[in-house]
Amino acid sequence: MKKLCLLALLFGGLLHPLNTHAQSTKNKKKSKNQVAAPAPEKKKEEAIKPYDKVITKDAITDEGLFKIHKIKDSYYFEIQDSLLNKDMLLVSRMAKLPSNLGGGYVNAGSKANEQLISWERFQDKILIKVKSYNAVANDSLPINISVKANNYEPTLYAFDIAAFSKDSSAVVIDVTKFYSTDVKAISGLSASLRETYKVRNLDDSRSFITSAKSFPLNIEIVQDFSYNASKPPMLPETETISLQMNQSMVLLPTTPMQPRLADPRVGFFTVSQYDYSSEALKSDEKTFIRRWRLEPKDRAAYNRGELVEPIKPIIYYLDPATPEKLRKYIKQGIEEWQKPFETAGFKNAIIAKDPPTYEEDPEFSAEDIRYSVVRYVASTTRNAVGPSVSDPRTGEIIESDIIWYHNHLRSYRNRYMLETGAANPSARTLDTSDEEIGKMMRMVIAHEVGHALGFPHNMAASHAYDVESYRNGAFTQEHGIAASLMDYARYNYIAQPGDQNVRFIRQMGPYDHYVTNWGYRFVPGATTEGEVPTLNQWILDKADDPRFKYGKQSSRFDPSSQTEDIGNNSIKASTYGLKNLKYVAEQLPQWTSDQTNDYDDLKELQGELLGVWNRYIGHVTTHIGGVYENTKRPNQGGVIYTAAPKTDQKAAMSWLHENAFATPTWMINFKILQNIDHTGYTETFRSAQARHLNSILDFEVMGRLIDGAAISTENYSALELLQDLRKGIWKELSGNQPVDVYRRNLQRAYIDRMAFLMTEELKPSRWGAYYNVNQSDVRALVRGELNTLKNQLNSRKNLVAQTETKYHYQDAIKRIELILDPR
């Protein structure tokens, strides 16, 4: 007991002098044996300073969603407590960037990231939490606890609270570091771009916040960043990538829009979530369409069937950089959708406006998320896109920017000539009239606006019309060339010379009215689930009419849902297309180099002519192993997937041997080729033919044929495919005919592809089902065909007179032997 007391006294005596020393002699040198006491914690009032000590009289303040205070080079947010824990969208866009960043498809206005966030307080910090609505549950249910625990949201950034507002209703944080350093989640440089350009780091000395503006519902921050990079996309000697980023933060509606459940029979972009509130024995996946919030001003008039203006119309502004002569066509393209919206009961639902002048709106910016803009981009890229920003909770589209690339019209001029020039005299020139160019641009803009309204491509729309109707002037003028503008049906390439008053350029179709009505018509008094019977009936009313069918672009197997084709019979349509293309190929020098005294345009168009040929051929190859998809509900009867008829597949194979695999002598015009390149004539066509051969000798095609034959012996089989292909590719064997260089190249491509089928495995993809190739019939069928071919070659190799052919057959035998018996 005494020992314990002594130890206690010693311990207490030691502690007391140390503590008093630390408090009274902190500036004196400590002895070697002294242990420094921990510094006292800062009191709360010292860590969080008085408001006036942080937001001084030098502050420049911008009022809005948050107050933004600028003090010299520092930026502060003053966030009302009422805005904490509110859902917001953080949208990162490129405002300025170097040319060719990302290969030309990234441009001013491109969205780099879109994140749902909330600002939350944790002790003396404010956190940016990145949220997700992929998994949800009713707040009142116990399972909501588990949903949150198993979907814990990441913290994007943490800020120390610098001060409270004078009335303690808001917190003040310093956001300078967040917006001036390389926060990858809001950076314009993805991991792949950083790797491509060998980005080392952000150079702080050349990076800064350009501006910060606060508006009633959004905040816009502009950053100017310079990165050190070993391989920048332009001016490599600078080893620098400089870009300007725009960070938009928008408060999402306190009252979310009523979502509309998606239906796979109607085409819409969507957002999805798993609802764990479901009474089913699993989470209930709910998919909502993406659409703008259109609500009638006068609901009573709307319910009576009158056309009514929406409370908030969709407004698109033109980019100030848009050339004056093109502005009217862009406006027409935007407002092309007014008629479909009238079908949905709304008038003046979508409006095009010129950009405001500085006097009208000094703060107008195309990057400001309050404005939807048709961006005009100075880029050599030939494209146009229609992205949008939507509320992930409901699918409500908040804003969108249509992006038009300057050189895109050149693509349309070229294809206009190549695809319609045979029947369309106005297309036979490099100087396409402004009126014709305007018609094309108007429809392209309308197509991209369609995407921004929530509509994906509908590749079944062009299959709604009979091929022969495309030669009928009255039909094409009334119905256009597809049932929807959202199909990739750009031109009428079927019409033949002599056909009268034919329309060659696409236009709005009946599906566009139907889908707009389905997605945007206001259903009075119905909840999200309550309006489903009405929506379903609208589909059933049109279910048997091909004009209202939706065909996914992602389908690589459905002959009725192909990109860039027109008509309900692609074999017949491609026959017409090739007939026209042969005429154009013959006239091409007369329409180009003879007029310009230069070969540049001829070279460009000759290359694109091969691309058109490839498209026409590709439309037919899809029939081989083709499966028609007709999405339906069980109560509609029938099946969703049906193999293409055997007769169609056989006809497609015969057509391909005649038009794709036969030597394309009409395209091999050495008067053209020798003026545009010094070599590569045979390789160009070998590559094109091999591409289509490989698309037929494909694991997924073989798998679909094997499945089809298992369903019915009446279906085209994988064996029949291989036999028909061998007989056509090697047809010279039957008559001891010489084989020209193009056919020899094709036959070697055939052997190489058969080797691929013997040795490779099918990689899983999002398009096709995976199966075990090695344990399927594929290897056995390929082996059998190679043995048959080897025997035929052995019997014919000494009967041909041409030396090249004889050597070719001997070489082919050796190649096959190495496949069958690799050494």
**pLDDT tens string 407-421:** 778 888 999 999 999
Of 16-30, 120-134, 522-536, the one with minimum mean pLDDT is 16-30
Looking at residue 277, its pLDDT comes to 56
Q: How far apart are the first and last CA of the chain?
A: 91
Evaluate whether 90 touches 221 at the Cβ level (below 8 Å).
no
Q: Examine the pLDDT at 471 and tell me if it is beyond 70.
A: yes
Q: What is the DSSP letter of 549?
A: -
Q: Distance from CA of residue 269 to its chain's centroid?
A: 11
Tell me the CA distances in angstroms from 545 to 266, 411, 541, 550, one per residue in order.
13, 33, 9, 11
Looking at residue 30, its pLDDT comes to 42
Listed residue (236, 235, 229, 210) closest to 96, CA to CA: 210
Q: pLDDT-derived band of residue 378, with 50, 70 and 90 as boundaries?
A: low
Per-residue pLDDT of 2-24, as tens digits, reads 343 433 433 344 334 333 333 33
Predicted model pTM: 0.87
Q: How many residues does the chain have?
A: 823
Of 79-93, 406-420, 733-747, the one with minimum mean pLDDT is 406-420
> What string of DSSP letters covers 766-782?
SSS----GGGSSHHHHH
Q: Examine the pLDDT at 725 and tell me if it is beyond 60.
A: yes
Helix-helix angle 718-729:699-711, to 10 degrees: 130
Evaluate whether 408 touches 380 at the Cβ level (below 8 Å).
no
Structure tokens that stand for 480 in this block: 């256009």
Structure tokens that stand for 637 in this block: 């009867």
Q: Examine the pLDDT at 379 and tell me if it is beyond 70.
A: no
Phi, psi of 115 (to 5 degrees): -135, 140
Per-residue pLDDT of 482-509, as tens digits, reads 999 999 999 999 999 999 999 999 999 9
Percent of the chain exceeding pLDDT 70 equals 89
The residue with tokens 């499966």 is: 627
* Average pLDDT value over all residues in the chain: 89
The residue-averaged pLDDT of 348-368 equals 89
Per-residue pLDDT of 290-333, as tens digits, reads 999 999 999 999 999 999 999 999 999 998 888 898 999 999 99
The SS3 call for residue 767 is coil
Q: pLDDT-derived band of residue 367, with 50, 70 and 90 as boundaries?
A: confident
